[in-house]
Every structure is written in structure tokens, then in C-alpha cells.
Structure 1
Amino acid sequence: MAENKDLLQVLWSGADVLRGKMDANEYKTYLLGLVFYKYLSDSYLAKVYDLLNDESPDDLREAQKQYEDVMKTDDAEDLLQELRTSMHYTLEPDMTYVSMLNMVNNNAFNREKLQAAFNRIQESDELFNGLFADVDLYSNRLGTGDQKQSATIAEVIRVLDGADLIHAKGDVLGNAYEYLIGQFASETGKKAGEFYTPHGPAQILCRIAMTGLEDKKGLQVYDPCMGSGSLMLSCRNYSSEPDYIKYYGQELMPSTYNLARMNMFLHGVLPENQHLRNGDTLDADWPTDEETEFDVVVMNPPYSAHWSAAEGFKQDERFMDYGGKLAPKSKADYAFLLHGFYHLKQNGTMAIVLPHGVLFRGAAEGCIRETLLKNGAIYAVIGLPSNMFYNTSIPTCIIVLKKHREGRDVLFIDASNLFEKEKKQNVMNEEHINKVLEFYSDRKTVEKQTYLASYEDIKANDFNLNIPRYVDTSEEEEEIDLKALTERIKETNQSIKECNETMISMLGDLTFNSSETEEAVKEFIKIFEEV
């Protein structure tokens, strides 16, 4: 196998093969899908070698050879049965990544064989059903005709050979996958809003939601608009028991849903801890059986999306206790918020990113907001910098919600100036993130940065939560010294007078070769004499 290079460099260089053939939103599907296939295949061969030798392989080519040999013996069925149980999938020896690479190096690669490997994995267990559906090996984007299309895929396979996915320590592989997702988000621009939350807001969201739950074993995390699953997986970073976290997530877009499933596996999340669903969060509630309330709810839903707001939703338990009002058809923000809040445990924390309009818009939204505030559900409002997200340049906010807490005060944090400007986006670094979390933890008023508003304050503002109503960031204008200003004006006027006199004197010394020119200059001089 090729010498193992820096993992990120190798994985990202796979994109170079595809970059000129299609846009980033398309080639991310191919690259991330092929990386995941390599991971499954290499993990499979490593397991085979471990079962046969009771140790990990140094070289997967040796594992491949032993697998080919044992499959010719009477022990083959017992081995496959053990692999089905432990891995949830099986591969024929000629379906492994090592086998594909051998075919590539011998100019014998054919995409039909790779498609057969995809099919075998997908058909092995419900866990993998439809997982590679978006990796279209027969697309004209890869080139014209079978030969060029196969050659493109073959080149990606050759490049990815440099990535050792088996010996990566800890979360290195999962973090590398997150890096790829982030890089694609940067390249795809507005389309990235479907699957990615930038690092700064994601860390603030997750660290706030995890506060006080860091040591809980068997923590349950829920994201009903999960995208690539990155928000849920970020919660692992702040848990002392990350291997026992159970993830519940739903995603509308099938391709993004598949990306989240891959992301889970590459972060080492056990199949029994993955509870992911492809569906419309608002249209039909989920989950509705077994676990329906969660310790942590994190969300970055599509902003001001359209939804049906059908009358029937007024009897839906998620939305029925808010004065008979539903989020308007043209702005589903509060529908997403109420869905997440409904699934929050009594002692849990929810954090959601939404546009600022939810803080002050009236009508139905105002009624829902008032009910939440009267119930003490809104715990904090954090204003983020503008141009943080790939799908919008507008400023957004994080709303933190809790159930049945003492008090109805709300902490306002204005973090709109806590960022660094980069080429395309504004970015919150660790210093900015830590500052916001310090404000959140201290929960007190800091001039021009935070304000702890009492319920009476909020009621006096007609339940309007617009941050400038509570955090005054305006700067007092410097006092003007009128006496000094008068002196400067006098000096300026004197200077103008002297300059005019000099100009008139210089013009008076001119000689002329025509009476018309002389008359014009005299008229010009009159202008300065009148000043």
C-alpha cells in the first residue's frame, strides 16, 4: 500500500480529480461516498485478519490474501457468519477496496464491480439501505462513455489509497470527515445550508446544550433537522461518556440523510446508538414511540421556510398550547422551535439557531413568543455576527430554552462583534466562543455586552426580544468645545481670505492678447472679490 500521507491532504486531493468535471455540491457525494466505502472495506479486511490471527494487520494486502485463501476452504461459511454478526455486512474478496485498487493498477478496473460492492453492502442490513444511492457511477458528469467514467472513478480510488483509515487514532478519522464536509460547505456556498453549521455557532450551541450534562451516561441527543449530523456529533466533544450517547436525528434530503449516516459510522458510533430517519420533521411528528423526549435538543433549521400550517396542526400536541396560533405559512421558524421544544426533557436544554425576526415579529409569532415567555421557556438569546452561515448573510441568533425552571428572566448576549473576517465568511475563533460561554455562565449584566432582563422588563417591552432593546451598544458622541470650534472657523476664514487676496493679485498681473480673454478674467476676479 502506498506510504500513508497526511490524512486530510490525501482525502482532499481526491476532490482534485473531480473538481473540473462537476460542481462541489455534486463531487462531495462521490468523494465522501468513496471514502466511506474504503472505510467499510478496510475495516472488513482488518476484522477478517483479526478473526484469523487474533491481531490487527500491518498491511491490508496480506489480509486480502488470507481472505481469498480462506474463502476457498470449508471454513468460509463460519467466517462469513461471524462477519455478518459483527460487521452487519459481508463482501466477496473481489469486492474489497484492495481488490479494486489491484484492478486499477492493472488497468482492469470496471465500475460494475464497484457497483456490485455498493449493492452488497446496502442489501446486507437495514443500517446500510440506500446508503450509496447518490453515488452514480454511470453519470455523464464523470466523463463521456464507459471508459472515461470508469477512468475517473479509478483515479479517485488510486488517490485515496494513500489514506490509512484503519490505524487513525481516536477521532482522527471522524474529524477528517468533518473537515471534508466543512471544505465542501465553503465551496458550495448557499447549498451548504442544507448540511453544515459553521464551527463557531456549532460549538456555542453544543456547549450550552451540554452544560450540566457532561457526565451523564446514556445521554440522548436529538436534532430534527440534522443535516450531516455534525451538530449532534459535536456534543461528543463535551461528554465524559461519549461512547454511550444515543443520537436521534431526522433529515428531509435523502442525500444529506445518507451523509449523516456515514458521518456517524466514521465517528465510531455503534449501530445501536444511531436512530436516524429520512423524513419531513414538521409534516409528521417523530419520534412517537419509545423515546420521545431528549436530554439535549440542538437545531439549525432552514430559515423562514414554507410549510402547510394546515388547520389540523392546531390539534397537534407539538403546537396546540400556544393560544391557538400556528407559525405562518411563509415562516416556519416557530414551528421548528416548538417541535424541538416538545421533545425536550423536563430537565434538558435546547439550543436553536434562527433569524432575528423571530425575536420581534408580531401576529401569530408574537402570540407564540409571549406564551413561551410567560411559561419561562426562553432562557437566553444570543445575537451572532452577520455573514456566519453559508446560506445567508443576515445576522442570526441562538435561542436557549428550558422547561419548568425557576424564574422567567432572560439573558441577552450581543456577540455581533465577536468575529474575525475571512475571505468568504465571518468566523468566530476559540477566544470569541469562550467569551460567549463566559457571559452565558456568569448570567449577569455587562455594559454594552449582556443584559439579564426580568420578566417585568420583557413585559414592559410587549414581549419583544429584539436585542438592542436590552443591550445598548451605542457609543456616546464626543462633546464639542464650541469655543475651540469658533476659533478654528475664524482661522479657516482668515486663511481663505488671504488665499483669495493672493489669487486676485496674481490674476491682476496677467497680460492678455485679446479683449475677450481680459473681460473673462475680470469677471473671474469679481467672484473672489465678493467672497
Structure 2
Amino acid sequence: MSEEQKRLLESKLWGIANILRGKISADDYRDYILGFIFYKYLSERQYLYANNLLETETIKDYLKLNDPELLEAIKEESLQALGYFLKPEELFASITAKGNASTETDSNYILEDLKAVLNHIEQSTMGTDSEEDFNDLFSDIDLSSNKIGRTVKARNEVVVQILNSLNSIDFRLEDIESDVLGDAYEYLIGKFAAGAGKSAGEFYTPQQVSKILAKLVSTDKEKLKSVYDPTCGSGSLLLRVAKEAQVSEFYGQELTRTTYNLARMNMILHGIHYRQFDIRQDDTLENPQHLDQRFEAIVANPPFSAHWKGDDNSLYNSDERFSQYGRLAPKTKADFAFMQHMLFQLADNGIMASVFPHGVLFRGGAEGLIRQYMIKEMNVLDAVIGLPANIFYGTSIPTCIVVLKKCRKFDDNIVFIDASSDENYIKVGNQNELRDIDVEKIIDTYRNRETLDKYSYVVSLEEIAENDYNLNIPRYVDTFEEEEPVDLDATAAEIQQLDAALKSNDTVLKAFCEELGIKAPF
């Protein structure tokens, strides 16, 4: 698929989302639109897979198949290969066709049928390896909600309209790589984030920031055994890493149920086999789900300065993730708790890159002690990268990327990069945005460990210690622009010229006033 065709697909998908725009909030219509797109995707995959199995049979079109034995055989194969199963009458095309019925004998009411189909997709996986990946996957699509229509008829009409619009789009799954539709899906997620305000940060990291994090953790690696995101949102960061290196396994944890569902859909829609990903729902700090594992790459955009049970000594002082530091991160600022959690789960040959508010670089108290321990005792801090303000949806505060490594090749210095100045980004609407050239400059500077005037500085550990382990970027990267010297003699001459001109004007004005017989204003 060409870039033009891809943009056309994105435009059509966003146009479908407009059916619900204005009726309900961005958060709500996001769940319906993305859920229905996912249902169509699953249906088309099932249809293509079943037709492939029917190539040697008399009936080769799965939509026309009614042989119980063949259906059972296709079900068994589908559960193994796809992780789910849809009957011919449950396919997107079948439900949409019923929604278009207009005769007196055939009703176009499809809400109950559609609800049953979505439930059956989940039920078909019960007792199989994919059960956890499909459990409650469509729970956020409430077809009885008054949000999409005040009456049953109105709700049915809206759903039929959406399905018809989607049915007119050929996803061309048999012709194109699955990541084309996946990229369009990511485009929609980004569009929804743009309209979701503060809540956008719960599920979406801007594409260019994702690209930076992915490139950082894949430095010097073409293959990664595993990648992990402890606050995975929609899963976009995990998927972005797969564009930079071949990833064998994806792991993530997400607290919000709706976003957790979105992450699993996103994985499957990008062609990630259900056996290759393990996304869990729970609080990462309180109930980590992968604590016995270590990961080669870790990326994250944790909630900034979140509250946590940092004052619960009975629970956390004995926790391996935090106990060696002597202090817990403040209960009103969980930033370092997330950092410690990720460092604990990082493999010895791994790289962690995560976004944080600037406060982690210089705040004192418990955070200052944890920061000093990481640098002085563990020597795991590899780089600090300052980003422009206002590049995240929902917040305008400046942020930074912290890069940690357990076994550092250059273990006597830390790279500081200040990419926050005007020439390192552009303004798009209300947001600041990094360009590809800005991303590449950050990555090249990190990988080459360069000192560039007013942009980066390679700092020795001794200098960090001299600054009491304060990592505030301006301490190390001097971005001060000297003003041009003022020629005082020239300025004095200019003032004298202006004074003479004023006196001349006064003389002329005084003469006019005398002619008019009025008092001069001076």
C-alpha cells in the first residue's frame, strides 16, 4: 500500500469516527470506533484463514459453509492459529448485511446479535492458550448505552451506520502487511488523544517521543529477546520498538481496564501473535505481574508525579525493588518508584529509557538520596535528555528521558542532551512537535557520546559528585546566548541626534501655535 493509499485509509477511518463526534466524549467514542474496527479485522482474518482451509473442499466460501464437521475442524484450527473463532453468521459482513435489511419480514435490528457475537469471540477462547488475551476484550462497547442513542431504534441506526461505513473499506489483509492497518489504527489513537485532553496521557505517547525511546533501547541491537512497558497504555511504545529491532516477546502492564483492552487489540491488530505478548491489568507498583522476569529492553511513559503507598513501610521496606536504597520515593511523587521498578526488572545486557518530569533530576530529600545511590553506588545512569515543553497531550510541563544500563560500556561518564530549545522542534497547532531530524540528532548524539556546543555535554562522574548529584541539565549544558556588545559611543551620538531633532520639532510646533494664537504645550 502506497503512502497515498494509507493516508486515504486513515482519512476514511477518522471520517467514521466523526459519526459519533459531538454526541459523546472522545474517550467514549474512541472505545466504540476502535472496537468495531477490531471486530472487522478479526472477521476478515477468520474469513481469509477459513477460505484457505476450504481450498480443497467443494464449498470454498466460508460465508456459505454449513457443514457441522467442517465448521468444527475450522474452529479447532482457528483457535490454534488465530486464538479465536467466528462462525460464518458471526462475521462482520453477515451482521452488517442484516443491519441493511429493509423488508417487512426481516428486521434490521442487530444490537442483540452483535452483542452475542462479541461475547462469543471471548467465549470461543475459554480453556485455550489465548483465553487471557481475549478475556473481556469488548467489555467497553456498551450497545445499550444512552450515550449513542436515546432509544433502541436510535442506537441501532447509529451502529448500523458505523458498520456500513467500515464495510465500505477494504482492509486488503490478503495483499498488504498487517502493520499498514496497524499504523492507521495508531493514527486514530493519536487523533483520539489529541481530543481527549488530560486523559490522553493515560494511553498515548506522541509518536516522535516513542521513536526516541525505541531507538535508545535498540542501540547496537538488531534483535531483542524481550521488551517491557510497566505502564503500557495502548501498547504503542512496545510496538514502536518492534520497528527498530526484531522483538521475540512483548510484556506490559496497565492499570486502566479500557486502556488495557486497547493495548491487547493493538497488539493483535499489528499482527503480534497471542503467544508473543503478555499484557496484564493491575497496579504495577503495588501488584507487579512480571516480577520474576528480566527484560532486555524497557520503555515507559509513567504517570507524572503519581501518588502511591510510599509511606507503607510494612509493605515496601522489604520489597526487593526498593529496599536497598534506604528510602522510599515520596507518596505524592512515584516517579522514582517507577524508575526503581524498571531498573529491578532490567536484564544485565539491557537498556531502559523512560520519560519523567524534570523534578527527578534535582529534587532533594528521599529522591536525592535514591538518585545519588543509583549514580554513586550502582553507576547505572547512562544519559539524561531534556525534551521541549508542551509535547505531551494533557500537560505543558518540560520533560526528560532518563536512560539506565546495568553494564555500561562507558562507565565513567554520563551524556547530557538539551533538545528543548526552539531550533530543536516545530509548533503544530497547540503542541510542540519533534521532527525526524530532531530525533536523529538526539539519537546520534547519544550513541556517539558527543559534546556539542549549547546542545550536549559528556560529564564525568567526578563532576556529577561535585554538583551533589544534582542532574539539572543547565548545570552541564550551557545554552546561554551572549548578547552583542553595545557601542556606547555610537549610542550616545544617536541620543544626541534624537535630542537635536526633538528641539527642531519643538521650534516648528511653537511657531504654528503662535500663528493660531494658542498656547504651546511646552
- Which stretch shifts more, 377-386 or 498-507? 498-507
Q: Does 1:258 align with 2:261?
A: yes
Aligned-residue sequence identity (percent) comes to 43
After superposition, where does 1:110-509 map in structure 2 within 5 Å? 110-125=110-125, 126=131, 127-165=133-171, 166-167=173-174, 169-170=176-177, 171-216=179-224, 219-239=225-245, 241-242=246-247, 245-289=248-292, 292-309=293-310, 310-311=312-313, 312-322=315-325, 324-374=326-376, 375-405=378-408, 406-417=410-421, 418-509=424-515
- Pick one of 35, 44, 61 that aligns with 1:33: 35
After superposition, where does 1:17-56 map in structure 2 within 5 Å? 17-53=19-55
Change (3 A) 1:452 1:42: same
Tell me by how many angstroms 1:54 deviates.
6.0
Tell me by how many angstroms 1:34 deviates.
0.4
Partners of 1:85 and 1:205 lie apart in 2 by 34
Unaligned runs of 5+ in 1: 56-61, 512-517
- Which stretch shifts more, 363-372 or 16-25? 16-25
Tell me by how many angstroms 1:24 deviates.
1.2
Name the structure 2 match of 1:514: none
Q: How many residues align?
A: 497
Tell me by how many angstroms 1:37 deviates.
0.6
Name the structure 2 match of 1:91: 86
* Cα distance per residue 1:282-328 (max 9 Å; x no partner): 11233134xx1100000100001111111121211111111x11110
The structure number with the bigger radius of gyration is 1
Change (3 A) 1:496 1:401: same
Tell me by how many angstroms 1:168 deviates.
5.2
Partners of 1:273 and 1:19 lie apart in 2 by 35
Partners of 1:168 and 1:427 lie apart in 2 by 33
Tell me by how many angstroms 1:391 deviates.
1.9
Partners of 1:196 and 1:168 lie apart in 2 by 29
Question: What SS does structure 1 have at the residue aligned with 2:170?
Answer: coil
* Cα distance per residue 1:249-279 (max 9 Å; x no partner): 0000000000000000011111111111000
* Cα distance per residue 1:362-415 (max 9 Å; x no partner): 001111111111121111000001110002101100010110325241111010
| Alignment check: 8 A CA contact 2:48 2:174 kept | no
Question: What SS does structure 2 have at the residue aligned with 1:264?
Answer: helix
RMSD: 1.7
- Which stretch shifts more, 400-409 or 308-317? 400-409
Partners of 2:64 and 2:443 lie apart in 1 by 57
Tell me by how many angstroms 1:89 deviates.
2.1
Change (3 A) 1:476 1:48: same
Question: What SS does structure 2 have at the residue aligned with 1:335?
Answer: helix
Q: What residue identity is the alignment partner of 1:284? A: N
Name the structure 1 match of 2:96: 101
Partners of 2:63 and 2:398 lie apart in 1 by 57
Tell me by how many angstroms 1:348 deviates.
0.6
Partners of 1:82 and 1:215 lie apart in 2 by 30
| Alignment check: 8 A CA contact 2:181 2:269 kept | yes
| Alignment check: 8 A CA contact 1:7 1:176 kept | yes
Question: What SS does structure 2 have at the residue aligned with 1:75?
Answer: helix
* Cα distance per residue 1:454-482 (max 9 Å; x no partner): 11111111111111111111111211111
| Alignment check: 8 A CA contact 1:115 1:137 kept | yes
Tell me by how many angstroms 1:93 deviates.
2.5
- Which stretch shifts more, 444-453 or 164-173? 164-173
Normalised by the size of structure 2, how large is the TM-score?
A: 0.92
Tell me by how many angstroms 1:132 deviates.
0.2
* Cα distance per residue 1:184-208 (max 9 Å; x no partner): 1112122110100001111111101
Unaligned runs of 5+ in 2: 103-107, 126-130
| Alignment check: 8 A CA contact 1:197 1:389 kept | yes
Partners of 1:453 and 1:74 lie apart in 2 by 70
Name the structure 2 match of 1:515: none
Partners of 1:385 and 1:428 lie apart in 2 by 8
Q: What residue identity is the alignment partner of 2:411? A: G
Normalised by the size of structure 1, how large is the TM-score?
A: 0.90
| Alignment check: 8 A CA contact 2:64 2:88 kept | no
| Alignment check: 8 A CA contact 1:409 1:455 kept | yes
* Cα distance per residue 1:93-117 (max 9 Å; x no partner): 3211111111122142411000000
Question: What SS does structure 2 have at the residue aligned with 1:163?
Answer: coil
| Alignment check: 8 A CA contact 1:100 1:109 kept | no
Partners of 1:104 and 1:396 lie apart in 2 by 49
